[in-house]
Amino acid sequence: MEHLAADTGPGIHRVLCERPATMRASDLFGYTGRMASQDQTLTDEVRARCAELRADIDRHSRLYYEEAAPVISDLEFDALLRELQELEQLHPELQTSDSPTQRVGGAPLEGFVTVTHRVPMLSIDNTYNEAELREFDRRVRKGLDGTEPVYVVELKIDGVAISIRYEDGVLVRAATRGDGYRGDDVTENVKRIRSVPLRLKDDPPAALEARGEVYMTVKELERLNKLREKEGEEPYRNPRNTTAGTLKLLDPRQVAQRRLDIALYDLVPEEGHELTTHVETLKGLERLGLPVSPHYKRCASIEEVLQACEEWREKRRELPYETDGLVIKVDSAAQRRRLGATSKAPRWVIAFKFPAEIAQTKLLNIKIQVGKSGALTPVAEMAPVRLAGTIVKRATLHNFEDLAKKDVRIGDTIEVQKAGEIIPQVLRFVPEKRPADAQSFPLPRECPVCGTEVHKDPDSVCLRCLNLACPAQVKERLEHFASRKAMDIEGLGPALIAQLVAQKLVTAPADLYQLDVETVAHLERMAEKSASYLIQAIEESKSRPLGRLLFALGIRHVGSRTGEVLAEHFGTMDALMSASMEELTQIHEVGDVLAKSVYDFFETEENRALIAQLGAAGLNMREETRGAKEEAQTLAGKTFVVTGTLENYSRDEIQARIKQLGGKATGSVSKSTNYVVAGENAGSKLDKAQQLGIPVLTEAEFEALVEGGA
């Protein structure tokens, strides 16, 4: 083992040195397994061996994931982990919540529990140029009565905000940002991130809550996409969205297969443990074994901040992960407390966003994409070009009117940028590089998928295929119908839908409910077990709320919130289908365009037939909370504004309660506001209410108002 470093731990030496000279490396697993299973008696030696293995595994994890300096091979690392797993299986009483074995395996989760953040995870205001950064500096110095602040500049990693909590040094909870006040408990998934320590080093405090960013490297995204391409599945679009989707997977084993990483950048103050400076906070996190980005810099003036921003403008391309800017923070904790926060964001921090990168490439072709509503969208197919950290081959051209205005032609050199660093879009062609044989793209007269004549949409600039049986539309509608916010049919992805449509097994959503295990099991990459899971998921979708079904139907302009509004107002599908235009427009959140879209949808014979088929299949056609709407309308005619963090309600819950009782919940305070319900950390809305003399209620006073009548 010449490549083995001299500082390899004693546990590694025991595994390697005790194995027979004739043993191959591939035999390690079986060998360690026999070692672990020789004796099932729990002895002091077994306890010591478990402790030794945990220490070795943790040490080598840090060397691999944090310091990028591994001293053993993956096979040797896996051998240690396997031995510890087998010892814990033999002696379950030795298994602890912070054991490295808890990163692998684990049963699928039932769902995610919503947790309340003890300290809200506020958003950060953005700046885009030098002038705005200087204005931020001016505001900070004014807030500090002229005192010169020291800043810390950090990379703004493009990932998913996370809060992780340790108690007595052991990881007990991890939660997403959510709405800033409440997020999803994703502890089991975060445990699968190798760089997250399950137990802190050094002498950790009794309680510690750190904030940071979970992300995926560009290289890992490329690895996953190669696997998906082999399986005939659509590649993931970017690291940030893939990270977010991974954290929401219900099976932690799948999370473990994707190599997420994390960088922590702040601590939530705990009682009796006051923070001093941000730099000391970062160093403290590192001492405890928590991963921190090394790319931070202390700047004594705004001039140094601007210099750091300029340095990273191009240098960021060398990073293994995506970043869309920098975060500038006041270093002193005392100064941060003096500056405070608005209801939305702290006053002591700001993000500097790099301008969207623009790249030039050649337009090879223009293809037409047909959406679920029949809309035809031109899509540019380009020579591959690196843009904002990823290789881009396709970009949107929005619509044919926009294509004509830009006069983009096949063969042109074009400029492309990512809108919001995510969606590639064509900006313009480069006139001086236009070749003589550049070809204009003709306005299509028929659908490229089904050949049906296309029509100009009277309400927009798009062209539309009106054939509801068009295979492209069928696939798009089924994907939407099965999506998480709609009927949430787990396992019914694009690849499987494409097979179902191609074999004419499904031509409309109602056909999904006629499928059986035998039929599905005969499809490519399916078997009886996976088919059974899918049929079970389809069956479970029948009980989704009426509002989800209305959204799933793909009615134009009807989003998930509008579906809930319509379901709450009418109570049943029959009542909604019978509603007149006048009845629809009288609903507070429904305008003329939306009302006409809903009315026209249910006036169409094919759509009424689809509803009948779904009803016959057993789907829920009644709003389950309809009975609650029949409560006394104690808040009728009253307008409420909710601000701050409430103890017993989320913002959505209390607003739904207000509407349920006949009241109106709005987002801004005005003279027409009747009441403001204020929780902790209420901001400018509370100030404005007090200025206007509007009654301010606590949660208890709000409940008393509900019970006693307005």
Which pLDDT tens digit goes with each residue over 74-83?
Answer: 667 777 878 8
Per-residue confidence band for 57, with pLDDT thresholds at 50, 70 and 90:
confident
Which two tokens mark 668? 């801004």
> How far is 560 from 485, CA to CA, in rounded Å?
7
> How far is 660 from 630, CA to CA, in rounded Å?
9
Regarding the domain with residue range 546-627, which homologous superfamily does it belong to in the CATH classification? 5' to 3' exonuclease, C-terminal subdomain (1.10.150.20)
Average pLDDT over residues 335-357: 86
Q: Confirm or reject CATH 1.10.287.610 for domain 10-103, answering yes or no.
A: yes
CATH architecture of the domain covering 471-543: Orthogonal Bundle (1.10)
Residue 287 has pLDDT above 50, yes or no: yes
Which two tokens mark 322? 């995506």
Regarding the domain with residue range 358-456, which homologous superfamily does it belong to in the CATH classification? Nucleic acid-binding proteins (2.40.50.140)
Cβ proximity of 415 and 427 under 8 Å: yes
- 495-510 per-position pLDDT tens digit: 899 999 999 999 989 9
Q: What is the pLDDT of residue 190?
A: 93
Q: Where are the alpha helices (DSSP H) in 541-591?
A: 546-552, 560-570, 573-577, 581-585
Q: What is the pLDDT of residue 514?
A: 95
What are the angstrom distances between the C-alpha of 329 and each of 123, 157, 386?
13, 15, 31
- 669-699 per-position pLDDT tens digit: 888 889 999 887 777 788 888 888 898 888 8
| β pairing state of 696-697 and 675-678 | parallel
Instruction: Give the containing element (helix H, strand E) for 176.
Output: strand 170-176
Which is it for the CA torsion 316, 321, 326, 328, positive or negative?
Answer: negative
Cβ proximity of 205 and 270 under 8 Å: yes
Question: Could you identify the residue written with the tokens 């103890």?
Answer: 647
Residue 274 has pLDDT above 80, yes or no: no
According to CATH, where is 1.10.287.610 located in the chain?
10-103
Residue 19 has pLDDT above 60, yes or no: no
SS3 334: helix
For residue 216, the one-letter residue type is M
> How far is 533 from 521, CA to CA, in rounded Å?
11
**Cβ-Cβ contacts under 8 Å for 213 (sequence gap 6 or more):** 157, 159, 160, 161, 162, 262, 263, 265
Phi-psi region of 561 (alpha: psi -120 to 50; beta: other; left: phi over 0): alpha
Cβ proximity of 210 and 164 under 8 Å: yes
pTM for this model (two decimals): 0.50
According to CATH, where is 3.30.470.30 located in the chain?
126-353
What's the burial of 282, exposed, middle or buried (CB within 10 Å: 0-12/13-18/19+)? buried
Q: What is the pLDDT of residue 637?
A: 81
Q: What is the pLDDT of residue 92?
A: 80
Average pLDDT over residues 116-133: 88
CATH top-level class of 631-708 = alpha beta
Q: Which of 142, 156, 367, 418 is catalytic?
A: 156
- What is the share, in percent, of the chain residues with pLDDT greater than 90? 37
Average pLDDT over residues 25-38: 39
Q: What are the beta bridge partners of residue 326?
A: 155, 352
Our answer to whether residue 156 is catalytic in this structure is: yes
CATH topology of domain 126-353: D-amino Acid Aminotransferase; Chain A, domain 1 (3.30.470)
